[in-house]
Amino acid sequence: MEAILYVRWSTKDQSKGDTERRQIELGASICRQRGWTLAETLIENGKSAYHGRNRAEGGKLYEVEERAARGELAGKVLIVEAMDRLSRQEPLESVTLLNRLAKRGLTICESSTGTIYDAQRISEHWAHLLIAFARAGEAHDSSRIKAKRVSAAWRRTQTDLTTKKGADDPRLCPAWMEVIDGKFTVIEDRADIIRGIFERSANGYGLRLIAKWAQEERQRLGWPKATWHIRNVTNMLHDRRVLGEYQPMMRTENGGRSKAGEAVKRYPAIVTLELWHQVMSGLESRKGTGGPRQKCANVLSNLCRCTYRAPGSNLPCGSRMTLRRQKRGPAQITCSDFSRAGECTCNAAYRYDDILAGVLDNLLSLAMPAPSTIGQHSRVPVLRAELTTKRKRLEEMADRLMEQDDEVLEAAFRRFKAKVDVEAAELKALEAHEEKRTHATDPHAVAEQALALREQMATDADARIKVQSYLGQLIDVIFMDPSDRSATIVVMGGLRVIKLDKHGKVIGDVNTAHMLKDQSIIDKLGREVTLDANVDNWNRVLAGDNPMRLTKLDEVAQSATEAA
């Protein structure tokens, strides 16, 4: 009879020990005793049976189950050191796995005890399943207790961020750092690759070109082990560890990961906040453009939108504009949806060079300084104080819930916790928004960088890539009107609008930013306060909200802050 030996251990550190040799020798020994032929040895390295990862797609046991389901293993023996090598999941799940494999013609043998499980023995001696069930329960409980202990220890590590000796914990160390003399230290040649990725993204390079460059640097430096490709370049560009932040994470029940607390400053930053937000702005402006950017022929591809409205529809097309070269005559841009024979039926064409020239001619006037949203009237301190008060109240409710088993109190606790979680997410979003505003690149500096490359754009693809990125940071959108072939440039959410004719000449200019003025307002506490003249406050007022109006909860939080 042919036998398959299944060898498994949970963590990769266990491979340094004796587990592999012991399981293989036991398997070979039972084959000699029974006269079986060892046909296969399947080794599962670092796959947890408690979480069922050895049964997930890609696991060796997953392959065994699939082959058994197809009838390929009928009449064969599956050898394991003990049943917990197959599964440490809940007892019922483990016994169901054993029974399913046996019903599909597979005999399971425990090499450590010599116990045999097959369909006939299980049918005639059902007590064997009770023994297997009890062992599965012991294995599951043991793993569950161990998992809780490990999880609690890891939570302490995530909170303290140090080893027992007080040194920075190397397990939390990013790949571009190492721990020297108990402190996180940057490995400069690795950090240079990360900085190069961010700098190229800020200059408008696409993910494909960045990955190609990073791969060349990998071959030169020998780091990292994994190949650079679009996906891990994208992940790196969104990894806030480059800013020095550590985000505690935890595993979810379905095997995923979720945040286990607030991010904290822990590492030396290798990228500035200014560069980070410049990259985020560029990625957002290029979202959905797709495709490689080796030539970047159409600098306006991520800005121009078709505004054609089909008969009977009030909605504009909204598609991007694609560049169309002419055998004779100037290059034109047309609706990409129309070019692909989509729903848009507008065949209007615009002279690309004229529109681009009009945009660049007026770039400095379009580069309006972004008003700061940070100051004495920032909502963040008030919201933070309010959230602190609510979290204290939540802790008090949790203490009462532990003392008395009350369903009404539990329901109230869950509702209040959900509300606190929502407000915490809103506060985090507002903090991120204000951080972005504070570290935004000076628009005039961006405009000057773009204009400095204007003469090189005709022959230099790199110059076009950079100019495209700079324009994306300054301009919200350019609406292309097929009725008169005009282009309307929108900046700062519509506070500044310039309209160009089909030749790129200015035919309209509206600037409402000067209408933003500081205003004195009496808040609900009877104090005179000044409403900052900035775009965010302006937009909130237009939406019917008074940024300085305090709710009752605001007053409580304000009073608590002043008392402290």
Query: What is the secondary structure of 97-130 as a DSSP string?
Result: HHHHHHHTT-EEEETTT--EE-HHHHHH-THHHH
**pLDDT score for 359:** 94
Q: What is the token pair recorded at 160?
A: 């303290």
- Percent over 90 (pLDDT), the chain: 30
Of 248, 28, 52, nearest to 155 (Cα)? 248
Q: How far is CA 30 from CA 100, 113, 517, in A?
A: 23, 10, 87
**Residue 249, number of CB atoms within 10 A of its CB:** 13
Question: Residues of 535-562 as b/e, b for ≥16 C-beta within 10 angstroms?
Answer: bbbbeeeeeeeebbebeeebeebbeeee
Q: Quick one: pLDDT at residue 64?
A: 93
Out of 207-216, 467-476, 554-563, which region has the weakest mean confidence (pLDDT)? Answer: 554-563
* Helix or strand holding residue 352 (H, E): helix 352-361
User: pLDDT at position 184, please?
Assistant: 92
Tokens 């490709």 belong to 229
Running DSSP on this structure, what letter comes out for residue 371? P
Q: Does position 305 have pLDDT exceeding 70, yes or no?
A: yes
Q: Is 283 left (phi over 0), alpha (psi -120 to 50) or beta?
A: alpha
Length of the chain as a residue count: 564
Q: Work out whether strand 350-351 and strand 332-335 pair parallel, antiparallel, or are unpaired.
A: antiparallel
Summarize pLDDT for 333-353 with one digit per residue, the tens: 999 989 887 889 999 999 999
H-type alpha helices, 404-502: 407-438, 443-452, 461-474
Q: For position 236, what pLDDT does the model report?
A: 93
Q: What whole-number distance in Å separates Cα of residue 207 and Cα of residue 293?
A: 9
Q: What is the reported pLDDT for 521?
A: 54
Could you give the CA distance from residue 436 to residue 281 in angstroms, rounded to a whole number? 9
- Please compute the mean of the pLDDT values over residues 234-249 and round it to a whole number: 90
Arithmetic mean of pLDDT, 106-113: 91
Inform me whether the pLDDT recorded for 540 exceeds 50. Answer: no
Domain ranges of the chain: 2-146, 170-271, 304-369+443-515, 380-439+516-563
Q: For 291-302, what is each residue's pLDDT tens digit?
A: 444 466 789 988
What is the reported pLDDT for 147? 65
pLDDT at 558 over 60: no
Q: What is the mean pLDDT of residues 271-276?
A: 90
| CA of residue 18 relative to chain centroid, distance | 39
Q: Check residue 557 and give its pLDDT.
A: 47
Confidence class of residue 556 from pLDDT cuts 50, 70 and 90? Answer: very low
Find the range with the poorest average confidence among 171-185, 424-438, 474-488, 495-509: 424-438
* C-alpha span between 92 and 113 (Å, rounded): 22
Residue 211, pLDDT > 60, answer yes
In one letter, which amino acid is 419?
A: K
Fold classification of 2-146 is: Rossmann fold (3.40.50)
pLDDT at 269 over 90: yes
Question: Ranked by mean pLDDT, which of 378-382, 450-454, 519-523 comes out on top?
Answer: 450-454
Per-residue pLDDT reduced to its tens digit, 311-332 = 888 889 999 999 988 878 889 9
Token pair of 434 as six digits: 């204000």
Provide the pLDDT confidence category of residue 255 given band limits of 50, 70 and 90. Answer: low
Mean pLDDT of the chain, nearest integer:
81
- Give the per-residue pLDDT at 549: 44
pLDDT at 203: 87
Contacts of 266-269 with C-beta under 8 Å, sequence gap 24+, read: 266/161, 266/172, 266/184, 267/174, 267/177, 267/184, 267/241, 268/177, 268/184, 268/185, 268/186, 268/244, 269/242, 269/243, 269/244
Instruction: Name the pairing type of β-strands 249-251 and 321-324.
Output: unpaired
More confident residue, 63 or 533: 63
> Which position has the higher pLDDT, 462 or 514?
462
Indicate the pairing of strand 257-259 with strand 264-265: unpaired
Rg (CA), the chain: 32
The neighbouring-strand residues paired with 502 are: none
- The amino acid sitting at 394 is L
Q: Which of 159-173, 357-371, 399-413 has the lowest mean pLDDT?
A: 399-413
Of 37-51, 162-176, 200-214, 521-535, the one with minimum mean pLDDT is 521-535
What would the CATH number be for the domain defined by 170-271? Answer: 3.90.1750
Interatomic CA distance for residues 223 and 210, integer angstroms: 16
Give residue 304's pLDDT.
93
Paired sense of beta strands 321-324 and 496-500, if any: unpaired
CA separation for the pair 293, 99 (Å, rounded)? 56
Our CA dihedral for 550, 555, 558, 560, rounded to 10 degrees, sits at: -160
Q: Determine whether 285 is exposed, middle or buried from the number of CB atoms within 10 Å of its CB (0-12, 13-18, 19+).
A: buried
pLDDT band at 70 (very low <50, low <70, confident <90, very high): very high
Q: Which of 7-16, 45-54, 421-430, 534-543 has the lowest mean pLDDT?
A: 534-543
Residue at token pair 């796959």: 47
Dihedral-angle region of residue 341 (phi above 0 means left; psi in -120 to 50 means alpha; beta otherwise):
left
Work out the percent of the chain whose per-residue pLDDT is above 70: 81
pLDDT at 454 over 80: yes
β-pairing, 37-45 vs 2-9, is parallel
Taking the C-alpha atoms of residue 240 and residue 535, their distance in angstroms, rounded to an integer, is 27
The pLDDT value given to residue 189: 94
Q: Per-residue pLDDT averaged across 172-181, rounded?
A: 91
Give the position of tokens 């490995």: 187
Q: Could you tell me the two tokens for 364?
A: 């400095």
As a whole number, mean pLDDT of residues 195-212 equals 89
CB 277 within 8 A of CB 436: yes
